[in-house]
């Protein structure tokens, strides 16, 4: 369950980005998850809920947007969308692909409630 480690990192990232901004509660978290990371959204949601407990992010809604993989062939420069287990270049047939997208987990945006409101 690498989702637990991911969720812990995510909560840490959220807490450091809202620190000192008078945030009372984080309402929503928009996350882009590359398919290459093989994250199970439900597992990540559960792990997030547990990791956020007792912080300002407790009870926040987690919006997970999956990002498809994109690869560039190192031999011929062809750009393609690889399958999870197949990185052969459809143009030249070599296995020399570099994943350029779909490998990251990006915290897109946060909706927060400030102490004022």
Angstrom CA distances, 109 to 3, 26, 41, 49, stand at 20, 11, 17, 18
What sign for the dihedral angle of Cα 39, 42, 43, 44? positive
9-17, 35-43, 67-75, 105-113 -> range binding Zn ion (CB under 5 A): 67-75
Binding of residue 50 to Zn ion (CB under 5 A): no
Binding of residue 92 to Zn ion (CB under 5 A): yes
Q: Is 116 left (phi over 0), alpha (psi -120 to 50) or beta?
A: alpha
Binding of residue 69 to Zn ion (CB under 5 A): no
Binding of residue 73 to Zn ion (CB under 5 A): yes
Binding footprint of Zn ion, residue count (CB under 5 A): 7
Angstrom CA distances, 23 to 30, 90, 114, stand at 17, 49, 4
Backbone angles phi, psi at 58, to 5 degrees: -60, 130
15-23, 26-34, 44-52, 90-98 -> range binding Zn ion (CB under 5 A): 90-98
Binding of residue 75 to Zn ion (CB under 5 A): yes
6-14, 33-41, 46-54, 71-79 -> range binding Zn ion (CB under 5 A): 71-79
Interface residues with Zn ion (CB under 5 A) are 73, 75-76, 78, 89, 91-92
């Amino acid at each position: 369950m690498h989702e637990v480690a991911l969720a812990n990192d995510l909560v840490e990232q959220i807490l450091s980005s809202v620190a000192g901004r008078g945030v009372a509660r984080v309402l929503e978290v928009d996350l882009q998850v590359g398919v290459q990371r093989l994250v199970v959204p439900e597992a990540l949601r559960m792990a997030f809920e547990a990791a956020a407990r007792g912080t300002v992010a407790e009870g926040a809604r987690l919006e997970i947007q999956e990002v498809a993989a994109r690869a560039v062939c190192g031999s011929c420069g062809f750009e393609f969308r690889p399958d999870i287990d197949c990185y052969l270049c459809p143009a030249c047939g070599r296995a020399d692909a570099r994943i350029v997208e779909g490998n990251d987990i990006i915290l897109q945006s946060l909706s927060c409630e400030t102490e004022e409101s």
